[in-house]
Amino acid sequence: MKAIVITTPGGPEVLQLQEVDDPQFKDDEVLIRVHATALNRADTLQRKGAYPPPQGASPYPGLECSGIIESVGKNVSKWKIGDQVCALLAGGGYAEKVAVPEGQVLPVPPGISLKDATSFPEVASTVWSTIFMMSRLSKGEILLIHGGSSGIGTFAIQIAKYIGAKVFVTAGSEEKLTFCKSLGADVGINYKTEDFVERVKEETGGQGVDVILDCMGASYYKRNLDSLNFDGRLFIIGFQGGVSTEVDLRPFLAKRLTVQGAGLRSRSPENKALIISEVEKNVWPAIAEGKVKPVVYKSFPLAEAAEAHRLMESSQHIGKILLVP
């Protein structure tokens, strides 16, 4: 099969389409012929050598895909050859075929094309497992999403509105904020021209928000704590603003704050299967109702993965960027 190989750690130009061996699949895995895959920020880190795949995972990038099941392992009961599916991967999506444990596979949601279905597994699993399963965002609460126009952001806006939360977002341009509002965001904050803490306090009568989904890490840490209401929860899913900072612990006691963090890729297959079943139960109905839509900015042929990475690293996109073998 053909796959995108990281020929050496470096810039987008190191991504090369090459002929490689077909993946071997285990008894509890299915082999998917990939119809489309989607970029995630983690792919750019892997390309630079900063985010190696977990042990035993495919060496090729790509954390989600959609496609058609071509073979099934002898212990697989849920899927059959020919099923149209999408899947959460530990790697290997940038290829014509990928092997994946059956518990990480989802049916294509009703009303969604096979191609667009690839835009959901990683964002839905990340958002549902963090701000819902762990931070317990509930109806009537306020969620602040940093990077509201990203793939994760555009999905989080829609699913949070679906469950009845109020949504604040930060983004770096008026165009991005306008788009976030079209998805349902209640308050848009331009982080380049406004202090998000001041704006949060202004919009909440000095109270703060209940949950924050943060991809920045160190650079936003203190300001995130300042933005939280009593019993507020900060959930960190990325370190785009660094990994190390000093902390004043007093607000934790004064405001009863919780700080959580989690990655998705390094979780066990059992843990991922649990998340996937929760996603199918809670998110798929919202997609079927048309309340959560795929947000796809652009698709590239698989051979143009380098160009797709350049677009992602420019941060000009809104939503997801796809690759099609």
Per-residue pLDDT tens digits for 11-40: 999 999 999 999 999 999 999 999 999 999
CA dist 102 and 84 (Å) reads 13
Q: How confident is the model at residue 217 (pLDDT cuts 50, 70, 90)?
A: very high
3-state secondary structure of 278: helix
Which residues, including other chains, have CB under 8 Å from residue 24's CB and lie 6 or more apart? 99
Q: How far is CA 19 from CA 2, 22, 95, 97, 307, in A?
A: 5, 9, 10, 12, 20
Please name the amino acid found at residue 121: P
Which tens digits make up the pLDDT trace of 160-182? Answer: 999 999 999 999 999 999 999 99
Which tens digits make up the pLDDT trace of 106-149? Answer: 999 999 999 999 999 999 999 999 999 999 999 999 999 999 99
Q: What angle do CA 108, 74, 104 make, to 5 degrees?
A: 35
Which tens digits make up the pLDDT trace of 27-73? Answer: 999 999 999 999 999 999 999 999 999 999 999 999 999 999 999 99
CA dist 102 and 85 (Å) reads 11
Q: HEC states along 66-78? A: EEEEEEECCCCCC
Torsion of CA 49, 52, 57, 62, to 10 degrees: -60
Q: How far is CA 255 from CA 132, 212, 223, in A?
A: 21, 15, 14
CA dist 184 and 140 (Å) reads 14
Instruction: Answer whether 0.95 is exceeded by the pTM.
Output: yes
Which tens digits make up the pLDDT trace of 263-321? Answer: 999 999 999 999 999 999 999 999 999 999 999 999 999 999 999 999 999 999 999 99
Q: What is the pLDDT of residue 99?
A: 98
First to last CA, the chain: 10
What kind and span of H or E run contains 2? strand 2-6
Mean pLDDT score of the chain: 98
Pick from 314, 289, 309: nearest CA to 323 = 309
Instruction: Please state the rounded mean pLDDT for residues 238-257.
Output: 96
Count the Cβ atoms, other than its own, within 10 Å of residue 223: 16
CA dist 163 and 46 (Å) reads 34
